[in-house]
């Protein structure tokens, strides 16, 4: 649990306001349901120098102040890229769903995945879907996410390829339903062309049947030295 004084102000798609201060932020990795495909992906990443995870799925706990709803973020170098992810939020004894970007430093990732996860801010949308007290109410396999970089499609896929967020929460095993305010990034989709891109303008989208799409955009600038 991390100390944080940054309050997030979000709004449900029905217009209700939700404000909370995160206590825990967890970025889950290697969350695919096809274990053979996940193992192959780990091998591919290892071949380009990315360290193998200690466990699958992997859970990277980062500072709560890394999450932002800003439409512009600053990064430390030119080789960073976004990843569209479903995001589960738990606050005030209720669950919410939104979309976020696990923006990551790809050079640092070859040295240390945990450090790469903390290197960049993690933008999320300000619109959320209220799931009540049970995150399993949604039909996860019917949800799709997409991302674009500089206007070009970068990722697109169904959450049927990922472990449901409720299952990930159980696998993480540290969720304290009494006093925590949790943000869980649930994993991402393969890249359309299989190659990282380092553009300036990013767009993320989450489509849940029966709800208006949740979309957000953000711009990236490299910090001057």
Phi, psi of 156 (to 5 degrees): -165, 135
Residues 129, 214, 164: CA angle, nearest 5 degrees:
60
| Dist. CA 206–CA 159, nearest whole Å | 10
Residue 8: the pLDDT is 96
Nearest to 124 by CA among 14, 36, 6: 6
Domains detected in the chain: 8-222 (3.90.850.10)
Residues 73, 75, 81: CA angle, nearest 5 degrees:
85
Residue 47: the pLDDT is 83
Please report where in the chains the tokens 């996940």 appear, as a residue. Answer: 38
* Alpha helices, H only, the chain: 35-47, 106-109, 113-119, 165-172
Length of the chain: 225
Residue 44: the pLDDT is 79
Nearest to 56 by CA among 72, 43, 71: 43
Entry pTM:
0.93
| Ordered per-residue pLDDT tens for the chain, 225 residues | 444 558 899 999 889 999 999 999 999 999 999 988 888 878 877 887 888 888 899 999 999 999 999 999 999 999 999 999 999 999 999 999 999 999 999 999 888 989 999 999 999 999 999 999 998 888 999 999 999 999 999 999 999 999 999 899 999 987 765 678 999 999 999 899 988 999 999 999 999 999 999 999 999 999 986
Residue 140: the pLDDT is 93
């Amino acid at each position: 649990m991390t100390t944080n004084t940054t309050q997030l102000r979000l709004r449900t798609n029905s217009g209700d306001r939700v404000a909370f201060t995160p206590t825990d932020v967890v970025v889950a990795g290697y969350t695919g349901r096809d274990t053979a495909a996940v193992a192959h992906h780990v091998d591919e990443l290892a071949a380009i120098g990315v360290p193998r995870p200690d466990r699958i799925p992997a859970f990277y706990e980062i500072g709560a102040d890394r999450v932002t709803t800003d439409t512009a973020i600053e990064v430390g170098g030119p080789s960073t890229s976004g990843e569209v992810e479903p995001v589960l939020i738990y606050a005030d004894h209720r669950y919410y769903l939104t979309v976020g970007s696990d923006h990551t430093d790809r050079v640092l990732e070859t040295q240390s995945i945990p450090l790469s996860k903390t290197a960049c801010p993690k933008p999320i949308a300000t619109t959320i879907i209220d799931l009540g007290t049970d995150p399993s109410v949604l039909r996860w396999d019917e949800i799709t996410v997409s991302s674009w970089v500089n206007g070009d499609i970068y990722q697109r896929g169904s959450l049927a390829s990922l472990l449901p967020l409720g299952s990930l929460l159980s696998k993480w095993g540290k969720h304290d339903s009494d006093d925590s305010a949790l943000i869980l990034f649930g994993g991402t989709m393969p890249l359309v062309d299989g190659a990282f891109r380092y553009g300036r303008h990013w767009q993320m989208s989450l489509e849940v049947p029966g709800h208006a799409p949740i979309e957000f955009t953000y711009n990236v600038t490299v910090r001057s030295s």
